[in-house]
Amino acid sequence: MENRWIEEEAARLEGPLAECAYGSRLIGSDPSLVLHGGGNTSVKADFIDITGDVIKTLYVKGSGWDLATIEPAGFTPLPLDRLRALLALDTLADPNMMKELSAARLDPSAPQPSVETLLHAFLPHRAIQHSHADVIVTLTNLADGTDRVREVLGDSVVVIPYVMPGFDLAKCVAETWADQVEAGKIGMVLLNHGLFTFGDSTRIAYERHVELINRAERWLDERAPRAHTPSDQPLPVVPAVELAELRRRVSDTAGRPMVMTRHVDAISARFVRRPDLADLATRGPLTPDHVIRTKRLPMVGTGVESYAEAYREYFVEHEHRGRTDLTMLDPAPRVIVDPRLGVLTIGDTATAADIGADIYAHTIPVLERSEDHLGGYVALDAGDLFDCEYWDLEQAKLRRAGSPPELTGAIAVVTGAASGIGRACAQELLSRGCAVVGLDRAPSVATEFTGAAWLGLEVDVTDTAAQSKAIETAVQRFGGIDIAVVAAGVFGKSAPIAEMDAAAWRFVQEVNVDAVAALFAAIHPLLAFSPIGGRVALVGSKNVLAPGRGAAAYSASKAALTQLARVAALEWAEDGIRVNVVHPDGVFDTGLWTETLIAERAARYGMSSEEYKARNLLKTEVTSPSVARMVAEMCGATFANTTGAQVAIDGGSERTV
């Protein structure tokens, strides 16, 4: 582990809390130490209240803050006397502990404190840093984990058997501390959990973290070298429809649509081809908190139904351990390992699926190293893992959780997504919880939006092979397709029919109709496996009903597109797929219009530009976002009983009403 403490930067920090935040970021930004909410840190310092009284205070990492980016505002100030009084109790249920901690905050606007606050309060050191370092977890997840930790780290650390985080862990440490603590102790290892280091300053605590982890790294490198030979044989290409069908079964088991991402990197390929895969992969997670993201076990193979039945049996077997009435979580897997499919990670959102992937990417090397060189990987038993998965704090969180956005877990493909109506549709679907794949020939499509839920692909939709490949990529990334929004289109050069260029005519038809027909052929089997029922929305045009002079190519292409949609509605209804069309007009915030062109057109009618934009019955301006909202409604519950519909969004036109 590299010591990344830079004294010049630390010297500019003001006070122990700023130093704690700096050291926390060094720990939190290293994925081999902390993953997605793991780890916590603290510092003890004075708090001066409004009356001028000085209060001995623990500043501990607050809930919701990422250690990689935490600032001083992310730490919760709590009076040490109150915390130590709570720790003196014989018993304290964790929900009650959290209520007391919340009430004890010296700043009520501070975040909720870490569940390990009382442990930080007990430790008789000013600064504390805690991580779930891969190398430490490797040592503790062995049959002789305690002996290995003592062999590697010697008398430098206190070793604590696994106890679930919260009041019980803090109490266990407090009751056993005197038996182990002595001069020279610089850290504490919690078996199957992680590493604590401490000192009189965050710098000292951080440097001790570096020291202990480097000892573990050197020992492991000597006795258990990492596997450096990734699989040289790529996993096979898997038809997109097969992945979509598997996602459908997983989603049905979960009771809601799920995102499923396929990982076929060389390390994943090597792991899933192990002859002992079924045994090794089902030993359990590296740390108990991973069960919240990955469940206790991955699914080996594709037997979703048998996995779900085994999960239900696991719940029934351990339900008696709950401290309150328990609500069973859905029995669908969150990680799938299969010799042909690779590693699949699953979540309610793309972010959740990616978090699962990060966790499992760190799990694989630990499993391999432990099994191949250290006598075998051993996780906690099922009961302890159940306690974490069904922790009363997690159950309370479920009860408080509101409804997610309507389209959470759904996957959409939007053509023409780099600008205008297409971009607005992508943005609206993202805001409603969708994972969105945007297709556009503009390179900017890749960066139109950020975040795990966005995948922008540079594609010319008239290139059928490229468009099909993009659909395959979409399914690899998110697991299937539930929604298709056809917004890519061109107007072409205006010309009377007698003067129309044949190549220009053909180009408009290729973009507006031919490419869509090819898209439909590619996505229909995927939409048929949608866990929410396939949904298609096409952006037509007012010109279908009211064509204009000089717009023969555009008007004819949009009319043909509408007929294509109507036939799809007829043919696809038996697969539960609905197909609807929106006909916009006068949408002036797209690339087809410039302020100069609008002004020129307005002048022809003796209007201002603003008057021209609202030249409709309702005297309202139609914008790309307003069209996008209608498209999103077509893809949501509002249109659940509608297919083959055509809806105008034009403010009302005397030519079409």
Q: Give the chain's domains with CATH numbers.
A: 7-223 (3.40.225.10), 240-400 (3.40.225), 411-587+622-649 (3.40.50.720)
What's the pLDDT score for residue 187?
Answer: 96
Query: Which H/E stretch holds residue 648?
Result: strand 646-649
Phi and psi angles of residue 636, each rounded to the nearest 5 degrees, phi first: -110, -165
DSSP-derived secondary structure for 463-494 = -HHHHHHHHHHHHHHHS---EEEE--------
Yes or no: say if 479 and 472 are a contact pair by the CB < 8 Å rule. Answer: no
Q: What percentage of the chain has pLDDT greater than the value 70?
A: 99
491 Cα distance to chain centroid: 38
Residue 146 has pLDDT above 90, yes or no: yes
Q: In 10 A of CB 510, how many CB atoms?
A: 16
Residue 230 has pLDDT above 70, yes or no: no
Q: What pLDDT, in 10s, does the model give residues 546-575?
A: 998 999 999 999 999 999 999 999 999 999
421-430 b/e with 16+ CB inside 10 Å = b? bbbbbbbbbb
What's the pLDDT score for residue 178?
Answer: 85
Alpha helices in 256-303 (DSSP H): 266-272, 277-280, 291-294
Q: Report the alpha-carbon distance of residue 350 to residue 367 in Å, rounded.
A: 25
**How far are the Cα atoms of 124, 246, 470 from residue 305, in angstroms, in the given order?**
51, 11, 31
If we measure between CA atoms, which residue out of 307, 151, 313 comes closest to residue 223?
151
- The question of whether 554 is a catalytic residue gets the answer yes
Query: Which H/E stretch holds residue 159?
Result: strand 157-160
Q: What pLDDT, in 10s, does the model give residues 592-629?
A: 788 888 898 889 889 999 999 999 999 999 999 999 99
Q: Report the alpha-carbon distance of residue 643 to residue 79 in Å, rounded.
A: 62
If we measure between CA atoms, which residue out of 179, 142, 143 comes closest to residue 160?
179
DSSP strands (E only) in 529-622: 535-539, 578-584
What's the pLDDT score for residue 226?
Answer: 75
What's the pLDDT score for residue 28?
Answer: 95
Rg of the chain's alpha carbons, rounded to an integer? 30
Token pair for residue 300? 């080996």
Yes or no: say if 309 and 60 are a contact pair by the CB < 8 Å rule. Answer: no
What's the pLDDT score for residue 231?
Answer: 64
Q: What pLDDT, in 10s, does the model give residues 200-228?
A: 999 999 999 999 999 999 999 999 887 66
Token pair for residue 36? 């997605």
Please tell me the pTM assigned to this model: 0.94
What's the pLDDT score for residue 590?
Answer: 85
Q: What pLDDT, in 10s, does the model give residues 515-530?
A: 999 999 999 999 999 9
What's the pLDDT score for residue 577?
Answer: 98
What's the pLDDT score for residue 402?
Answer: 78
**How far are the Cα atoms of 125, 284, 303, 380 from residue 337, in angstroms, in the given order?**
44, 14, 11, 21
Residue 318 has pLDDT above 90, yes or no: yes
Q: What pLDDT, in 10s, does the model give residues 390-419?
A: 998 887 777 777 789 999 999 999 999 999
Average pLDDT, the chain: 95
Q: Report the alpha-carbon distance of residue 433 to residue 475 in Å, rounded.
A: 17
Residue 65 has pLDDT above 70, yes or no: yes
What's the pLDDT score for residue 243?
Answer: 98
Strands 75-79 and 299-300: unpaired
What's the pLDDT score for residue 36?
Answer: 82
- Which residue in the list 377, 554, 605, 612 is annotated as catalytic? 554
HSE-CB at 401 with a 13 A cutoff on CA atoms is 9
pLDDT band for position 317 (50/70/90)? very high
pLDDT band for position 80 (50/70/90)? very high
Residue 83 has pLDDT above 70, yes or no: yes
Yes or no: say if 260 and 478 are a contact pair by the CB < 8 Å rule. Answer: yes
What's the pLDDT score for residue 345?
Answer: 98
Strands 259-263 and 299-300: unpaired
Q: Report the alpha-carbon distance of residue 317 to residue 385 in Å, rounded.
A: 13
pLDDT band for position 35 (50/70/90)? confident
Query: Which H/E stretch holds residue 235?
Result: none
What's the pLDDT score for residue 57?
Answer: 98
Read off the DSSP letter of residue 327. Answer: -
SS3 percent helix, strand, coil of the chain, rounded to 5, is: 45, 15, 35
What's the pLDDT score for residue 229?
Answer: 67
